Amino acid sequence: MFIRFLLKDFLWIRSFFLMPLFLLCFNVSSYAHRVNIFAWFDGEKVNGRAYYSNGIPARDARIDVFSKKAERLYSLKTDHNGRFSFDPKGKDTLKLVLNAGMGHRATTVISTGLKAKKVQKGSNGDIYPLKNSNKSLTKDTPCNLSLKDIDSLLQLRLTPLEKEIERLSMDSGRITFKDILSGFGYIMGIMGLWLYFLSRYQSKKTR
């Protein structure tokens, strides 16, 4: 009896895995109907980009920029590469809402993080975060570097980091094979639960 059941329903058990896996062969690098938005403060500007989960840029998508008090500051569009840039007007927390059409939407909140760190002030009232590490450095220490030099030096150091963060944030939005397999697992689990309750219900009915 049990063997006959297995033979009869083996086709189902096999096709349970085969059919979705066959579909997967079409295109494993998945395209998803989901948009992501990624933005960061870059000096006096805010830069960012919008893209679908497989990395295709979201072109000509609308982005609304809101302040902390939910007033709309800008309404702009992404360029051909899905990038955008604007002047934050001195605000330190901004909410960006991306609308890529056809009901696709994503939001992100960015912050300079300056308030959270509590900037230390020196004895003469300067913003002076190096106070404890280097006592000889004061406001009057002669320094041959202009602000522009420092900026370009920092740019040199930070650009690779920015790129890395961008890559990581894009990777985190990607769908992995693990997600797909776990979905199958959940569906099999739901099927098992469903059959369990059905059999209990039916055995109660026949009793």
Partner 1 sequence: MHISEGVLAVPVLLAGAGVTVIGLGIGLKKIDAKKVPEVSLLSATFFVASLIHVPIGPSNAHLVLNGLLGVLLGWGAFPAIFIGLFLQAILFQFGGLTTLGINTANMAIPAVVFGILAKRFISLKHPIFSSVILGILSAVALFFAGLLVALSLWFSGKSFLLASKLILLAHIPIAVVEGIITAGIIRFLLKVKPEIFGLMDKDIKGFME
Q: Counting contacts by CB under 8 A, is residue 171 touching partner 1?
A: no
The least distance separating partner 1 from the CB of residue 98, rounded to whole angstroms, comes to 10
Q: Counting contacts by CB under 8 A, is residue 6 touching partner 1?
A: no
Strands 72-77 and 35-42, sheet pairing: unpaired
Q: Counting contacts by CB under 8 A, is residue 145 touching partner 1?
A: no
Stretch that binds partner 1, among 37-45, 108-116, 145-153, 187-195 (CB under 8 A): 187-195
Q: Which residues are CB-contacts of 49 (< 8 A; sequence separation ≥ 6)?
A: 37, 38, 39, 57, 78, 81, 82, 83, 84, 166
CB 47 within 8 A of CB 81: no
Stretch that binds partner 1, among 72-80, 117-125, 150-158, 184-192 (CB under 8 A): 184-192
The least distance separating partner 1 from the CB of residue 139, rounded to whole angstroms, comes to 48
Closest CB to partner 1 among 145 and 191? 191
Q: Counting contacts by CB under 8 A, is residue 75 touching partner 1?
A: no
> Among candidates 99, 116, 115, 93, which has minimal Cα distance to 46?
93
* Residue whose entry in the numeric block shows the structure tokens 């320094």: 143
Closest CB to partner 1 among 145 and 196? 196
The least distance separating partner 1 from the CB of residue 119, rounded to whole angstroms, comes to 35
CB 39 within 8 A of CB 46: yes
Cα separation, 171 vs 53, whole angstroms: 9
Q: Counting contacts by CB under 8 A, is residue 151 touching partner 1?
A: no
